[in-house]
Amino acid sequence: MLIDHQYLQLLTVRSHSVETVVNNAAFLAEGARIFNVPTLFTTAFAERQAMFAELQAVHPDQKPIDRFGLNAWDDERVREWVKNTDKKKLVMAGLWTEVCLTMPVLSALAAGFEVYIVTDASGASSVEAHERAVQRMVQAGARPLSTVSYVSEVQRDWSRADRPSRW
């Protein structure tokens, strides 16, 4: 799940460079696409802020679930999408780490999902805000990883062509 990777929110990110967040989010989406991992994009109040074009280019036909609430997990369409994947492991990244990522991660954990957070494809209003949010999610049971480690785990080996991922 790539949650609220939108330009307006990106303007306030201070925990990472803009390039880092955009490139890692796009790399995450592309790796998931290549290895057939179901991927969901969400936006918040999209009429005022567009999603990263780099993400939309990976799945040009996907229409992000647009919401007004702060917690993506509160949206029935998001929960229904997750249910329809029939997966118990969720991988999430989002802007802002301290809100758009933390809230649905805590909710998914409470709902019994195993949740992985991609910390370098997420960004926060400050380094401290990012670190505290990651720490809070980890304390609740989320498992942090980087974009490269996630895509490498999905790939598994250099000969992988069409073997299903454990994700």
Residue type, 72: A
Contacts 24+ apart (CB under 8 A), 63-69: 64/40, 65/40, 65/41, 66/42, 67/42, 67/43, 68/44, 69/44
| Residue found by looking up tokens 């990522």 in the block | 101
- Residue 100 known to be catalytic: yes
Q: Which of 100, 134, 151, 154 is catalytic?
A: 100
* E-assigned strand segments in 45-162: 65-67, 89-94, 114-118, 143-145
| Strand, helix or coil for residue 2 | strand
Positions marked catalytic: 100
